[in-house]
């Protein structure tokens, strides 16, 4: 009999944006949890909803009613997670939520179908929880560290936090055999010419960027042995045959010593597989770091630039200088690594001069790819605390997310649309200046139109 069914409620075919992009990855956290629980002697099933449907998940819940289901939650799956809880309760399941989203809103999820919320790392907590649920039921979980639940009187009980796993090398590799990894590889290969598999080499991020959530791992940073990481990559390549991997660490290059040791171990094994990953600019401003990444096979590095205004970066507590972003980009390109860049409009206090500085910064830095978003306050972050008195949620909490917050008095969405048009056209013009002057002039004109549009909408605010 299955002790716990794990799922996550993300349905690829219900996501029109992802159907355009088609770069899905397996739910790595659930696979770590499955591997750990199986090692501890539990019978575990993973129902991966990515390529499945709501009807198929409902059928699975109906087939063996009355069990325990663990549902991973993140920022984008709130509505689906609540739907899963409703379906599970129809068939008598006990519902356990985990992940960053429910960790930020445990009381809200308990009010909307969760029987228990796991806060923090899930492995040790869930192992204890499954046993206590079986022995005492869902209302007598007092003392199970890392959980929130309702007692027999309906009172919400927040148990103490659980200590983080100090030695993450003690964890087994993710239970990839529990799901259809080849389906993910095939989707990538079909749409992008290269199959891809994800893995992590560390847990947590010690940096204090005040818009970033640390709901699961806190501000810890725990690194795996580079030999074990290399062995996992070797296994992935041999078992699934992807043409690339994605290192899903928060910041892959935090430890330079670890990076150099890892590169040496991969070289010793004769492994060089293309990959993408994320860095901070201040952890990639040395040439030997860029060289090690290139030697490992890095073909694209993603940098969170966020803004070209040092004033805004300092307000975000980024701990990074604009010049460091420019240097890191230059070093990456010198070693044949493409640079992807993340940018953020609308952080509290941003004005016209900050946007203009960002436009100039991106022109100067010239990343290969860049994306923008409008800043949104995630619960329990410094940014959220700063603006929470101005936040209005547009819609029913069950159906929206922190991305849907309106910040009263902030510039309108139309204003940031003009900012995007200004930025993208200005960068295009800069790139075309020497090769196609006529096209550059047209882009310059479009950039100026967008800049004037931004100025014209400066008085429009979110209400």
276-308 residue pLDDT tens = 999 999 999 999 999 999 999 999 999 999 999
Same domain, 210 and 355: yes
Same domain, 86 and 231: no
Query: What is the SS3 assignment for 119-170?
Result: CCCCHHHHHHHHHHHHHHCCCCCCCCCCEEEECCCCCEEECCCCCCCCCHHH
How far is CA 390 from each of CA 346, 378, 398, 407, 416, rounded to the nearest angstrom?
Answer: 14, 13, 20, 5, 19
Q: Which neighbouring-strand residues pair with 97?
A: 71, 117
Same domain, 356 and 309: yes
Instruction: Please report where in the chains the tokens 């990481």 appear, as a residue.
Output: 229
Q: Which of 422, 279, 442, 278 is nearest to 358 (CA)?
A: 422
**pLDDT at 196 exceeding the cut of 90:** yes
Q: How many domains does the chain have?
A: 2
Same domain, 149 and 186: no
d(CA 289, CA 291): 5
Residue 100 lies in a domain: yes
Same domain, 258 and 318: yes
Nearest-5° Cα angle at 129, 142 to 106: 70
Quote the pLDDT of residue 441: 98
Same domain, 223 and 125: no
Same domain, 26 and 60: yes
Same domain, 306 and 187: yes
Quote the pLDDT of residue 1: 80
What CATH number is given to the structural domain containing 12?
Answer: 3.40.50.280
Query: Six-digit token pair at 64?
Result: 């063996």
Same domain, 136 and 184: no
- 432-441 pLDDT tens trace: 999 999 999 9
Query: Six-digit token pair at 318?
Result: 């980024």
Residue 152 lies in a domain: yes
**pLDDT at 463 exceeding the cut of 90:** no
Handedness of CA 117, 126, 38, 74 (dihedral sign): positive
| Contact (Cβ atoms closer than 8 angstroms) between residue 126 and residue 134 | no
pLDDT, mean of residues 195-208: 96
| Contact (Cβ atoms closer than 8 angstroms) between residue 303 and residue 281 | yes
Same domain, 119 and 73: yes
**351 CB-side CA count, 13 A:** 3
Confidence class of residue 163 from pLDDT cuts 50, 70 and 90? very high
Same domain, 212 and 358: yes
User: First CA to last CA across the chain, in angstroms?
Assistant: 53
Residue 446 lies in a domain: no
Q: Which domain holds residue 353?
A: 180-375
pLDDT, mean of residues 380-384: 95
Residue 277 lies in a domain: yes
Same domain, 202 and 140: no
Residue 265 lies in a domain: yes
Residue 295 lies in a domain: yes
Q: Are strands 222-223 and 147-150 parallel, antiparallel or unpaired?
A: unpaired
Query: Which one of 375, 405, 420 terminates a domain?
Result: 375
Query: Six-digit token pair at 319?
Result: 């701990």
- 407-438 pLDDT tens trace: 999 999 999 999 999 999 999 999 999 999 99
Residue 424 lies in a domain: no
Q: Are strands 222-223 and 244-247 parallel, antiparallel or unpaired?
A: unpaired
- 123-156 pLDDT tens trace: 999 999 999 999 999 999 999 999 999 999 999 9
pLDDT, mean of residues 311-326: 97
- 250-274 pLDDT tens trace: 999 999 999 999 999 999 999 999 9
| Contact (Cβ atoms closer than 8 angstroms) between residue 270 and residue 237 | no
Query: Six-digit token pair at 451?
Result: 């800049």
**pLDDT at 394 exceeding the cut of 90:** no
- 29-48 pLDDT tens trace: 999 999 999 999 999 999 99
Averaged pLDDT score across all residues of the chain: 97
Residue 455 lies in a domain: no
Query: Which one of 320, 349, 375 terminates a domain?
Result: 375
Query: Which one of 354, 375, 396 terminates a domain?
Result: 375
Query: Six-digit token pair at 137?
Result: 């039921």
What CATH number is given to the structural domain containing 216?
Answer: 3.20.20.70
Query: What is the SS3 assignment for the chain?
Result: CCCEEEECCCCHHHCHHHHHHCCCCCCHHHHHHHHHHHHCCCCEEECCCCCCCHHHHHHHHHHCCCCEEEEECCCCCHHHHHHHHHHHHHCCCEEEEECHHHHHCHHHHHCCCCCEEECCCCHHHHHHHHHHHHHHCCCCCCCCCCEEEECCCCCEEECCCCCCCCCHHHCCCCCHHHCCHHHHHHHHHHHHCCCEEEECCEECCCCCCCCCCCCCCCCCCEECCHHHHHHHHHHHHHHHCCCEEEECCCCCCCCHHHHHHHHHHHHHCCCCCCEEEEECHHHCCCHHHHHHHHHHCEEEEEEEEECCCHHHHHHCCCCCCHHHHHHHHHHHHHCCCEEEEEEEECCCCCCHHHHHHHHHHHHHHCCCEEEEEECCCCCCCHHHHHHHHHEEECCCHHHCCHHHEEECCCECHHHHHHHHHHHHHHHHHHHHCCCCHHHHHHHHHHHHHHHHHHHHCCCCECC
d(CA 105, CA 219): 19
Handedness of CA 388, 163, 123, 225 (dihedral sign): positive
Nearest-5° Cα angle at 152, 146 to 156: 45
d(CA 292, CA 247): 15
């Amino acid at each position: 009999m299955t002790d716990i069914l794990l799922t996550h409620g993300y349905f690829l075919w219900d996501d029109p944006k992802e159907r355009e992009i088609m770069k899905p990855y397996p739910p790595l956290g659930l696979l770590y949890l499955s591997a750990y629980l199986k090692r501890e002697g539990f019978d575990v099933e993973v129902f991966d909803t990515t390529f499945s449907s709501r009807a198929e998940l409902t059928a699975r819940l109906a087939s063996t009613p009355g069990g325990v289901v663990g549902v991973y939650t993140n920022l984008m799956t709130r509505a689906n997670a609540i739907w899963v809880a409703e379906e599970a309760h129809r068939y008598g399941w006990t519902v356990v939520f985990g992940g960053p989203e429910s960790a930020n809103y445990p009381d809200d999820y308990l009010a909307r179908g969760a029987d228990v919320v796991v806060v923090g790392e899930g492995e040790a907590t869930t192992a204890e929880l499954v046993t206590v649920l079986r022995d005492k039921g869902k209302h007598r979980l007092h003392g199970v560290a890392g959980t929130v639940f309702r007692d027999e009187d309906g009172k919400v009980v927040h148990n103490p936090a659980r200590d983080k796993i100090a030695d993450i090398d003690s964890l087994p590799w993710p239970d990839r055999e529990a799901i259809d990894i080849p389906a993910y590889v095939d989707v990538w290969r079909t749409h992008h010419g290269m199959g891809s598999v994800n893995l992590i080499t560390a847990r947590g991020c010690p940096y204090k960027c005040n818009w970033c959530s640390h709901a699961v791992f806190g501000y810890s940073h725990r690194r795996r042995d580079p030999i074990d990481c290399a062995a996992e990559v070797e296994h992935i390549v041999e078992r699934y045959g992807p043409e690339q991997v994605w290192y899903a660490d928060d910041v892959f290059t935090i430890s330079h010593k670890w990076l150099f040791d890892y590169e040496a171990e991969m070289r010793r094994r004769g492994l060089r597989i293309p990959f993408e990953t994320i860095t901070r600019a201040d952890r990639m401003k040395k040439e030997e770091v860029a060289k090690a990444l290139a030697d490992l096979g890095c073909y694209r590095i993603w940098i969170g630039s966020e803004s070209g205004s040092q004033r805004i970066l300092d307000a975000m507590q980024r701990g990074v200088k604009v010049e460091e972003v420019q240097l890191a980009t230059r070093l990456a390109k010198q070693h044949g690594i493409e640079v992807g860049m993340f940018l953020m409009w609308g952080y509290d206090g941003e004005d016209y001069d900050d946007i203009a500085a960002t436009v100039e910064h991106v022109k100067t830095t010239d990343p290969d790819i860049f994306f923008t978003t409008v800043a949104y306050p995630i619960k329990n972050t410094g940014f959220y605390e700063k603006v929470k008195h101005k936040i209005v949620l547009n819609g029913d909490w069950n159906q929206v997310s922190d991305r849907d917050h309106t910040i009263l008095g902030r510039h309108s969405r139309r204003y940031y649309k003009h900012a995007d048009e200004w930025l993208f056209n200005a960068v295009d013009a800069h790139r075309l200046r020497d090769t196609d002057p006529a096209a550059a002039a047209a882009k310059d004109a479009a950039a100026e139109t967008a800049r004037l549009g931004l100025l014209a909408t400066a008085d429009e605010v979110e209400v």
